[in-house]
Structure 1
Amino acid sequence: MNALGLTRFKRLAMPAACAGLLAAALGAAPVQAAELKIGLAAEPTAMDPHYHLFTPNISLANHIYEPLVMKNPDFSMHPGLAESYRAINPTTWEFKLRKNVKFHDGTAFDANDVLFTFCRVPTVPNSPSPFTLYTKAIKEMEAPDPYTVIIKTVEPYPLLPNEISSIGIISDSIIDGEKVHFSESGCKISHKWPSTADFNSGKASIGTGPFKFGQFVKGDRIVLKRNDAYWGKKPTWDQVVMRPITNPGSRVAALLAGDVDFIERPTTQDIPRIKADSRFRIEGAVSTRTVFLVMDQSSDKAPPGVKTADGKNPFKDVRVRKALSMAIDRRAIVDRIMGGFAKPAQQLMSKEFFGTDTSLPVLATNVAEAKKLLAEAGYPDGFEITLATPNDRYINDAQVAQAVAQMFAKVGIKTGVDAMTASSFLSRRAKHDFGIYLFGWGAQTGEMSSPLRGLVATINKTRGWGSSNYGKFSDATLDSTLEKAMETVDDNQRRTLLAQASKRSMELMAVIPLHYEVTPWAMKSSLNYKARADEFTKAEDVTPK
């Protein structure tokens, strides 16, 4: 077996008893269990399911922890740890919990685990992007019996089931089964809240999911073990080994060499040769992932990495933000850099998803108009910027940033690119080191309110809005429209309001959307996987043909 290993199924043609005798006689190794090796495109930042609202983290957490409501690959919902749920009235939801579900430590799942989980979410320290975005609407939570949870929201909140689908339930055995009482102002328990380090070590990594925690070695591997007591369909694999191989070329090379069985996001340059090799196959789907540019609009002074003749912040002027957008040739990026595995952006989500403005065209390229707007804004000779980007997080992210830099140069904006690993990027972004940067957002709810609330809504810690609004954009009209949408139970009315808010964000160019990723997976031809719009890699859904 090589360093990274192969998926193997060993079948013996003889009866098991004879096989055992023969193996003993020959001194052979015992039969090896089924193992799946996955090459990850981005490393999860923690095993803590509530630490970081980040697709790699949620994707990993879903193997160990389960939410009350689960998402299908197309973002439709189905029961999870709640066997049923319903809205009793516009502000009250009832969740009936599954019985006879066990956590990995053998303790029984019940309503107290749910209360403990939701109480724990706002206590996680140093979260780069907190899950409170999805819990702030909850006013009350109670358990009238061990298998019923009642959730009351401050206002009508139709997206509650969608949003809590990202919150994995943890075991109250971590706090010795202490009874928990939910409080909007903060729950109080006698035990110490579990830390992120407790989850990383495995001490607190106790879920109900199809896999158990095996090992977490940052920068090297994540090992998951099959949960043989799982309440649902048992996974094929006895063990799953996930290795972060953030260099895309190395990731593809690992697949071609047989070191891994399945990889995320093969490079667009390598997809043709993978397809041409009968040993492998590609699956792909348009995702909710939008790649965009964020501009620091927090101060009148030029932010880090931005140099202007007058020392002012050019991004405060909507004409400058629109000029930057007009300088970008999105179709060229999609065709030449993304190899067709993307769609040019019109707004913060692709039109096929709920709440988008279907009338918006692809954002236009117009170099002459961009120069005119810059001159009107007081920058006829442009200015200088450094565009920050991760180089291992999104498909061809650093190459996209380089292309954008060249396009900006054509309108007089001298642009350097500062590319770095995602871990370095996230650390520096938290310190507001960047005046302008490239990043992405995957809408976990599968509809427009997710990027609007997370990226461009005015920062509001009470609501949990603006959790990733590092540019500190703010617009009262957009906020008001979004607020109305989030209080509207009727789907058609809510869709209209979200579309209005989306259009407003583009009129003001709150952030600059570039493209929507078409997420590819590559795997051995002996494997099946249904591509997901949420970009999650779920080992239990990888099956032998």
Structure 2
Amino acid sequence: MDPYVVEEVFTSGFLGNVYEGLVRRTPDLRLEPALAESWEMVSPTQWRFHLRKGVTFHDGSPFTADDVIFSAERVRSGASDFKNRLPAGVEVVKVGDYTVDFITKEPNPILNFTWANWYIMSKSWAEANKIAPPVKGGDTENYATLHESGTGPYKLLAREPGIKTVLEAYPQWWGAKDKVGDVDKVTYTPVPNPATRVAGLLSGQLDVVFPIPVQDIPRLEAAPNAGVVTGPEVRTMYLSMNQWKDTLPGSGLDGVNPLKDRKVREAIYRAIDINAIRDKIMRGLATPAALMVAPGVNGYTDEVKRYDYDPAKSKALLTEAGYPDGFAMTYQCSNDMYVNDEATCLAISSMLAKVGIKAKPNIQPRAKYLEAVTAPNMDFGLAMLGTTPSSLDSHIALYSLHMCPRAAEDRPLWDKDDLTKIVAGKSNFAGYCNPDVDRLAGEILKEADQKKRSELIHQAWTITTNEVAYIPLHQTWAAWGTGSAVKLERRADNVFDWRHVTIGK
């Protein structure tokens, strides 16, 4: 329940019903006021936010500027997974009880674009309960792990990790008069097995389940007591290739890492028949991707094209790189994070085997999988992941996934035990690094002219595509199952906002 520990769509989306940010996203993903009623740029490097009055936390304490100042400090402390919400050097100044200034070193026209899931915590509650700075992965518990005091429309009743979490509507919520839905109580139950989820929906034990395997969609659409809500996601699925380690995990090649060679990375790319994955595994509910951002994200362009599926070219590239017989590597996959993730991983493994690359999938549940592929372990040659830029802007994808992994002192990050001072490349576990991309990312952040900014973004995406920094796969179409009486707004970023759910009578 600690809102700064894990930046992952389901977790932060769930907590967005309990905690709130200064801004939030509408169902069509527009930015709108939340705990801040309004804001303006006093100067190119000074933003002023006017806070909402009359808001109370779930423990009854009032929301003021002191809570914003405290949250700004905590979100940048310890091993917080949300440090990029406030770039290094941003000064947060209390102007009055309900006015806060954010002063940046350089112009930043998208400063608040990522704040919809930077949630504000209560300073008095945190101090009274001795809540420590966030710890990597939530491995060490503090009071905020199992308790909360947010300002959101729902408050926590019971938390049994791995079993169920129960919440109820908060009657003093400031936005109650504008609430669209009629849900008074929510019980979240993790059900890892897709067949069990579908059975629970059909039996009436569950009201909403997601994700739904694409092969079960016709069955649910035909059921009299269930329905399916589908639509494209702004998440892009991709393959991360470990270019960081000197020895490729699982290869048996001491001191050798084939993935450092661009030709090898292109060979992997060309060995994947993305149209077959779309048609046979995703049943048409996927859009092949050429970029690491989806349509709807600022900076997306259809001018950048995918590398063609070409196994013969793939084999030729491997031969040129010195691997005519291919090589082996560790291939990490999840089985409960994304739509048909296990089946997609198995298909890619089979395709790679046809060109001589032995990538045997190690398929694991979410927690074990993330432990393997993230720092400091990075125990993978290939790993399949998904990315949704929290800002819905290309900069965050470049900043987190493509900038050279660096610590605050500008030293390489992943050779350190201390991961707390990260400022760039925080999700770049592949270790891709190009100073030109770093430079462009910096320019993109501070460029206010939208035409110039778009040109800079296009330059960056052209470089990363040409270098095969990652292998974009597709944007999936999410499918959520609902009971026949349930109506909801499925957001393209997969955040489940309970304010917009009606369950009928």
Query: Using the alignment, how far apart are the partners of 1:375 and 1:516 within structure 2?
Result: 32
Query: Residue 144 of structure 2 aligns with which residue?
Result: 199
Query: Using the alignment, how far apart are the partners of 2:116 and 2:488 within structure 1?
Result: 21
- Relative to structure 1, the CA distance from residue 255 to residue 324 in structure 2 (aligned partners, 3 Å threshold; closer, same or farther) is same
Query: Residue 341 of structure 1 aligns with which residue?
Result: 285
Identity of aligned residues (%): 34
C-alpha displacement at 1:169, in angstroms? 0.5
Q: For residues 105-254 of structure 1, what are the structure 2 equivalents within 5 Å?
A: 105-125=59-79, 130-175=81-126, 193=132, 196-202=141-147, 205-233=148-176, 234=179, 236-254=182-200
Q: Secondary structure of 2:234's match?
A: strand
1:494 to 2:437 alignment: no
Q: Which runs of 5+ in 2 are unaligned?
A: 135-140, 409-421
Q: How many residues in Structure 1 have an aligned counterpart in Structure 2?
A: 480
C-alpha displacement at 1:238, in angstroms? 2.1
Query: Residue 312 of structure 1 aligns with which residue?
Result: 256
Query: Using the alignment, how far apart are the partners of 1:504 and 1:67 within structure 2?
Result: 34
- Relative to structure 1, the CA distance from residue 242 to residue 138 in structure 2 (aligned partners, 3 Å threshold; closer, same or farther) is farther
1:530 to 2:489 alignment: yes
Q: Is this contact kept in 2: 1:109–1:171, CA < 8 A?
A: yes
C-alpha displacement at 1:493, in angstroms? 2.1
- Relative to structure 1, the CA distance from residue 442 to residue 411 in structure 2 (aligned partners, 3 Å threshold; closer, same or farther) is same
Q: Which stretches of structure 1, 4 residues or more, deviate above 4 A after TM superposition?
A: 175-178
Query: Using the alignment, how far apart are the partners of 1:486 and 1:522 within structure 2?
Result: 39
- 1:29-63 Cα shifts (integer Å, max 9, x gaps): xxxxxxxxxxxxxxxxxx11111111111111101
Partner of residue 367 from structure 1, selected from 295, 307, 311: 311
Q: Secondary structure of 2:142's match?
A: helix
Query: Using the alignment, how far apart are the partners of 2:452 and 2:165 within structure 1?
Result: 44
Q: Which runs of 5+ in 1 are unaligned?
A: 1-46, 179-190
C-alpha displacement at 1:358, in angstroms? 2.3
Q: For residues 412-423 of structure 1, what are the structure 2 equivalents within 5 Å?
A: 412-423=356-367
Q: Is this contact kept in 2: 1:485–1:497, CA < 8 A?
A: yes
Query: Residue 541 of structure 1 aligns with which residue?
Result: 500
- 1:460-491 Cα shifts (integer Å, max 9, x gaps): 33372211111111011111111110111122
What TM-score do the two structures reach when normalised by structure 2? 0.91
1:71 to 2:15 alignment: no
Letter in structure 1 aligned against 2:110: L
Q: Secondary structure of 2:457's match?
A: helix
Q: For residues 359-508 of structure 1, what are the structure 2 equivalents within 5 Å?
A: 359-429=303-373, 430=375, 431-462=377-408, 464-508=423-467
C-alpha displacement at 1:112, in angstroms? 0.4
Query: Residue 416 of structure 2 aligns with which residue?
Result: none
Q: Is this contact kept in 2: 1:293–1:511, CA < 8 A?
A: yes
Letter in structure 2 aligned against 1:348: M
C-alpha displacement at 1:74, in angstroms? 2.8
C-alpha displacement at 1:425, in angstroms? 0.9
C-alpha displacement at 1:177, in angstroms? 8.3
C-alpha displacement at 1:194, in angstroms? 5.9
Query: Residue 3 of structure 1 aligns with which residue?
Result: none
Query: Using the alignment, how far apart are the partners of 2:423 and 2:235 within structure 1?
Result: 21
- 1:151-181 Cα shifts (integer Å, max 9, x gaps): 0112111111111222000111225589xxx
Q: Is this contact kept in 1: 2:349–2:359, CA < 8 A?
A: yes
CA RMSD between the two structures: 1.8
Q: Secondary structure of 1:452's match?
A: helix
1:54 to 2:8 alignment: yes
Q: Is this contact kept in 2: 1:162–1:445, CA < 8 A?
A: yes
- 1:205-242 Cα shifts (integer Å, max 9, x gaps): 10100000112211111111110001003452221001
What TM-score do the two structures reach when normalised by structure 1? 0.85
- 1:77-132 Cα shifts (integer Å, max 9, x gaps): 0001000011122211010000011111111111000010110112244x5xx101
Query: Using the alignment, how far apart are the partners of 2:307 and 2:31 within structure 1?
Result: 32
- 1:392-441 Cα shifts (integer Å, max 9, x gaps): 11111111111001110111112211000110111222312222211111
Q: Is this contact kept in 2: 1:357–1:503, CA < 8 A?
A: no
Query: Using the alignment, how far apart are the partners of 1:450 and 1:363 within structure 2?
Result: 24
Q: Is this contact kept in 2: 1:123–1:193, CA < 8 A?
A: no
